[in-house]
A and B are shown apart, each in its own frame.
Chain A
Amino acid sequence: MSVIIILLLVSLCIAGGFLLAFLWSVKNGQFDDDESPAQRMLFENKKFNNK
């Protein structure tokens, strides 16, 4: 049955990883503005070169 304990710890670590990813994304400001990125992705990322 000890395999369950190992599995449990592994699953906790994975979930913890997601939690950390979430906290990091909040800290990074990804939740501050949920409107502009949605609009921004619609534009083509053309590289302009000044003539």
Chain B
Amino acid sequence: MVYEILNEHELCTYYDLNNKPGVAQNENKRKDKYAFLEDLEIQIKLIQFSDKTHSHITLYLPQIHCSSCLWLLENIDRVNSGIISSKVNFTKKEVFIVFDHSKTTLRKVVETLDNIGYEPHLSLNDLTSQPHTSLNRKHWYKIGVAGFCFGNIMMLSLADYFSSSGTLEPKLETFFRGLSIILSLPVLFYSSTEFFVSAWSGLKNKYLNIDLPVALALVITFIRSLYEISYGIGSGYLDSMSGIVFFMLIGRWLQSRTYQSISFDRDYKSFFPIALNSVKNGIIIPTEISKIKKNDVIQIYANEIIPVDAILSKGKAKIDYSFVSGESLPVNVTIGEMIYAGGKQLDGLLELIVVKEVSQSYLTNLWNNQVFNKKERITRSNYDTLGKYFTYVVLILGFGAGLYWYLQGQSTLMWNAITTVLIVACPCALLLSQNYTNGNILRVFGLNKFYLRSADVIEKLSKINHIVLDKTGTITQNTESKVNYIGREMDEEQKLNIASLLQQSSHPASKLISKWLKINDGIKVDHFKETEGGGIAGWINEHYIKIGSSAYVGGEYFKEKRGTKVVVLYDNVILGEFIIANSYRLGVSKLIPSLRKNFALSLVSGDNDAELKNIQHLFGKESDIEFNQSPQQKLDYIKHLQSNSKLSVMMIGDGLNDAGALKQSNVGIAVSDTSNNFTPSSDGVIDGSQLFRLDVFLRFAKESRKIILFSFSVSAVYNFIGLYFAIQGILSPVIAAILMPASSITIILMTYGLTELMSHGMGLKINTDKP
């Protein structure tokens, strides 16, 4: 279908660009899916700018993944002539479209995109939240200015350093130094503002953060340099000052580069569609979700999520609640029964009568929990506490040296000592090593499809001692277990007999196999015996059938262990065997034992306890396993662990039912099968295929703390050498000027080298080119 559209408009280059462009289209679309976009009110909320002829809109297309997408979307004006221009932002997975609304409509634009396979993600969140403006540019300006000033001041100071005193003409010297002061002003008053702002807000909250000593050092360096230059004593330390600001800004930028295409702050609103069809007096009207009132009749199509609590009035409902409750099997609902918000209709059209509006439904109630309302807690990193001690030590050393010289009666030396100590011992090194290490770790994690919200999370990860996992969708995959049969071919009668016997058993494997045999109504079985943990045997139509584990049946068809094996013995002949591939994610069976060594584990699931045995075996006796947990219970479970056992808890989950627990936990990681898919609000998103590396990620996070400390101590050695001279009051500006950039660059190189080395050692790929 896509090909036809493209061919019609000569866009076939698309297929030449990549071998496998595009994603296969899976479902048939219904005609009036986007009818709600005709609604003016919805349009106003979505369209960013509109004049007489043109409208601007930015749409989020999670399907954007390759260069072909880019090409196709930027040539979309050929498919719909009303579109004037389109521009793709690859990192954000957004397309910015300008269209002529006299020739086309928003609905048509969206339908065009949908037809070629890019279904825009329109959700309630788009309507309520404003597009985020990026602070990124401001940071770039600051880096640019700092870099410019740093380079030029450095150049000016070099002349000073390498001329033995007196050879530089006094006139020239004054000019050079004056220029340095002028150039340092934008660094101090523009580029470094964020250090002052954060130091001040720290002070206001009576909280000593690491930016305070940095700000203090900057001010003192500047004043001292000003003093030296105006009295003609020396050339000051302006070059070191601007250099440090420059390096620190780059470090912060590295650390703050997070993943723009992944949203970490989704709440229930993002999961719901924008509008629904409501039926009034037999007429179907597209209605915005927030306007749906009690007793309205709404229509739900296949694969749509039901946003309200409602009673089924028409149609055959098969609701998948796995996202809300964690139950793995769809629920059949008959007319007159309740359907809860968050369920997904699997097949066919439904009509429902609304009982509770979106904002009051069972699902949304979870969000009224206070966990979701409290502001982000202020996280006091232990580097801030380390920084605090550091500050104290520096202050004591500085003033101690000052006091010593004062008692000796040398007041000039006293000031010298105090200021140089503060300048040299600026905790910039600590800050630098932290920023650069974190930045690189975020990058390595990102390459491994483990995306963290911010650098703070790395540190929290390193402190985790209890891990709570969800079952459905997290350690198991959402797809149903696959059944394979090897053996002699079965005829219809045999199939019927086998299925009939299996239907007597309540074991999940029996259910899966009889489902796979596609026989729903078996014949009556009179004599059978089920052995727990073994299998079932019985007489049907004069045939003796025994089905169960190879030990129970006493033989097997094919000697190889793959998944769960169910052997069929038919009239004393081994007919064949069913192999049930367990639906655990790849590597989970290795991951759990590896995690067990270092962490306490729990499993909290909304599903029933059919798999208790397997899971208990996997998790071991010491782990706590809870089934049939509601979202609220999951949240309370985490809270209980945190308050009673003073544990640092990591929650790993996927669905909306984990949202509360993810938020409550110290680190909440959402598992996603496609990184652009829906994930509840969390501190990080991990791709399902990479879950098995979780233990490595955790170890990496832990080791990274050592890198920070190590590189910091190396730079501390530099500083102590500097301090040795500084305390005696004989540190020359040349040495200071060499020491400071040298220690910064050492830190940068060392943190980078060590993290790369370590990620290599742990088998985390660091090369982007390799697939």
Give A contacts to B, CB under 8 Å: 1, 4-5, 8, 11-12, 15-16, 18-19, 22-23, 26-27, 31-36, 39-40, 42-43, 46, 48, 50-51
Chain A to chain B: the 8 pairs with minimum beta-carbon distance, closest first: A36-B90, A35-B90, A19-B148, A26-B140, A39-B67, A33-B89, A22-B144, A35-B91
User: B24: CB under 8 A from chain A?
Assistant: no
User: How far, in whole Å, are A51 and B88 apart by their CA atoms in the complex?
Assistant: 26
What residues of chain B lie closer than 8 Å to A32, measured between beta carbons?
Answer: 89, 134, 136-137
What residues of chain B lie closer than 8 Å to A4, measured between beta carbons?
Answer: 172
User: How far, in whole Å, are A43 and B71 apart by their CA atoms in the complex?
Assistant: 7
User: How far, in whole Å, are A36 and B261 apart by their CA atoms in the complex?
Assistant: 13
Number of A-B contacts (CB under 8 A): 63
User: B542: CB under 8 A from chain A?
Assistant: no
Give B contacts to A, CB under 8 Å: 10, 13, 17, 67, 70-71, 74-75, 78, 88-92, 134, 136-137, 140-141, 144-145, 148, 151-152, 155-156, 169, 171-172, 175, 179
CB-contact partner of B169 in A1, A39, A46, A51, under 8 A: A1
Q: Is the CB of A5 within 8 A of B172?
A: yes
Q: Is the CB of A39 within 8 A of B145?
A: no
Some 9 contacts from A to B, beta carbons below 8 A apart, are: A5-B175, A12-B152, A32-B134, A33-B89, A34-B91, A36-B89, A36-B91, A39-B67, A43-B17
Q: Is the CB of B137 within 8 A of A1?
A: no
User: How far, in whole Å, are A19 and B140 apart by their CA atoms in the complex?
Assistant: 11
What residues of chain A lie closer than 8 Å to B92, measured between beta carbons?
Answer: 33
User: How far, in whole Å, are A39 and B74 apart by their CA atoms in the complex?
Assistant: 12
Q: Is the CB of A15 within 8 A of B71?
A: no
User: How far, in whole Å, are A7 and B175 apart by their CA atoms in the complex?
Assistant: 13
Q: Is the CB of B172 within 8 A of A1?
A: yes
Additional A-B contact list (16), CB under 8 Å, known A8-B179, A43-B17: A1-B172, A5-B175, A11-B155, A19-B144, A26-B140, A33-B89, A33-B90, A33-B91, A35-B90, A36-B89, A36-B91, A40-B70, A43-B13, A48-B75, A50-B78, A51-B10
What residues of chain A lie closer than 8 Å to B141, measured between beta carbons?
Answer: 23, 26
A33 to chain B: closest residue by CB: B89
User: How far, in whole Å, are A11 and B140 apart by their CA atoms in the complex?
Assistant: 23
What residues of chain B lie closer than 8 Å to A11, measured between beta carbons?
Answer: 155
Q: Is the CB of B137 within 8 A of A26?
A: yes
B176 to chain A: closest residue by CB: A8
What residues of chain B lie closer than 8 Å to A8, measured between beta carbons?
Answer: 156, 179
CB-contact partner of A48 in B78, B90, B155, B175, under 8 A: B78
Which residue among B71, B78, B89, B90 has the maximum number of chain A CB atoms within 10 Å of its CB?
Answer: B90
What residues of chain A lie closer than 8 Å to B175, measured between beta carbons?
Answer: 5
CB-contact partner of A31 in B67, B136, B152, under 8 A: B136
What residues of chain B lie closer than 8 Å to A36, measured between beta carbons?
Answer: 70, 88-91
User: How far, in whole Å, are A3 and B147 apart by their CA atoms in the complex?
Assistant: 26
| Minimum C-beta distance from A26 to chain B (A) | 4
What residues of chain A lie closer than 8 Å to B78, measured between beta carbons?
Answer: 48, 50
A31 to chain B: closest residue by CB: B140
B155 to chain A: closest residue by CB: A11
User: How far, in whole Å, are A51 and B137 apart by their CA atoms in the complex?
Assistant: 43
What residues of chain B lie closer than 8 Å to A1, measured between beta carbons?
Answer: 169, 171-172
| Minimum C-beta distance from B17 to chain A (A) | 8
What residues of chain A lie closer than 8 Å to B155, measured between beta carbons?
Answer: 11
| Minimum C-beta distance from B552 to chain A (A) | 57
User: How far, in whole Å, are A18 and B140 apart by their CA atoms in the complex?
Assistant: 14
Given A5-B175, A39-B90, A43-B71: A15 and B137 interface contact (C-beta under 8 Å):
no
B64 to chain A: closest residue by CB: A36
Q: Is the CB of B89 within 8 A of A15?
A: no
User: How far, in whole Å, are A15 and B154 apart by their CA atoms in the complex?
Assistant: 13
Q: Is the CB of A42 within 8 A of B67?
A: yes
User: How far, in whole Å, are A8 and B183 apart by their CA atoms in the complex?
Assistant: 13
B87 to chain A: closest residue by CB: A36
What residues of chain A lie closer than 8 Å to B148, measured between beta carbons?
Answer: 15-16, 18-19
User: How far, in whole Å, are A32 and B89 apart by their CA atoms in the complex?
Assistant: 9
CB-contact partner of B74 in A23, A34, A40, under 8 A: A40
What residues of chain B lie closer than 8 Å to A16, measured between beta carbons?
Answer: 148
| Minimum C-beta distance from B610 to chain A (A) | 45
User: How far, in whole Å, are A36 and B67 apart by their CA atoms in the complex?
Assistant: 8
B138 to chain A: closest residue by CB: A26
Given A26-B137, A26-B141: A15 and B152 interface contact (C-beta under 8 Å):
yes
| Minimum C-beta distance from A16 to chain B (A) | 7
| Minimum C-beta distance from A15 to chain B (A) | 6
User: How far, in whole Å, are A19 and B141 apart by their CA atoms in the complex?
Assistant: 9
What residues of chain A lie closer than 8 Å to B134, measured between beta carbons?
Answer: 32
A29 to chain B: closest residue by CB: B137
| Minimum C-beta distance from B217 to chain A (A) | 25
| Minimum C-beta distance from A11 to chain B (A) | 8
What residues of chain A lie closer than 8 Å to B137, measured between beta carbons?
Answer: 26-27, 31-32
What residues of chain B lie closer than 8 Å to A35, measured between beta carbons?
Answer: 90-91
A4 to chain B: closest residue by CB: B172
A5 to chain B: closest residue by CB: B175
What residues of chain A lie closer than 8 Å to B172, measured between beta carbons?
Answer: 1, 4-5
What residues of chain A lie closer than 8 Å to B10, measured between beta carbons?
Answer: 48, 51
User: How far, in whole Å, are A31 and B136 apart by their CA atoms in the complex?
Assistant: 9
| Minimum C-beta distance from A3 to chain B (A) | 11
B156 to chain A: closest residue by CB: A8
B17 to chain A: closest residue by CB: A43
| Minimum C-beta distance from A37 to chain B (A) | 9
B10 to chain A: closest residue by CB: A48
What residues of chain A lie closer than 8 Å to B144, measured between beta carbons?
Answer: 19, 22-23, 26
What residues of chain A lie closer than 8 Å to B90, measured between beta carbons?
Answer: 33, 35-36, 39
A37 to chain B: closest residue by CB: B90
| Minimum C-beta distance from B388 to chain A (A) | 35
| Minimum C-beta distance from B468 to chain A (A) | 36
| Minimum C-beta distance from B530 to chain A (A) | 59
User: How far, in whole Å, are A34 and B134 apart by their CA atoms in the complex?
Assistant: 14
User: How far, in whole Å, are A35 and B726 apart by their CA atoms in the complex?
Assistant: 48
| Minimum C-beta distance from A32 to chain B (A) | 7
What residues of chain A lie closer than 8 Å to B70, measured between beta carbons?
Answer: 36, 39-40
What residues of chain A lie closer than 8 Å to B75, measured between beta carbons?
Answer: 48
User: How far, in whole Å, are A27 and B521 apart by their CA atoms in the complex?
Assistant: 70
B74 to chain A: closest residue by CB: A40
| Minimum C-beta distance from B176 to chain A (A) | 8
User: How far, in whole Å, are A8 and B176 apart by their CA atoms in the complex?
Assistant: 9
User: How far, in whole Å, are A18 and B149 apart by their CA atoms in the complex?
Assistant: 12
CB-contact partner of B151 in A15, A31, A43, under 8 A: A15
User: How far, in whole Å, are A19 and B137 apart by their CA atoms in the complex?
Assistant: 14
| Minimum C-beta distance from A5 to chain B (A) | 6
What residues of chain A lie closer than 8 Å to B145, measured between beta carbons?
Answer: 19, 23
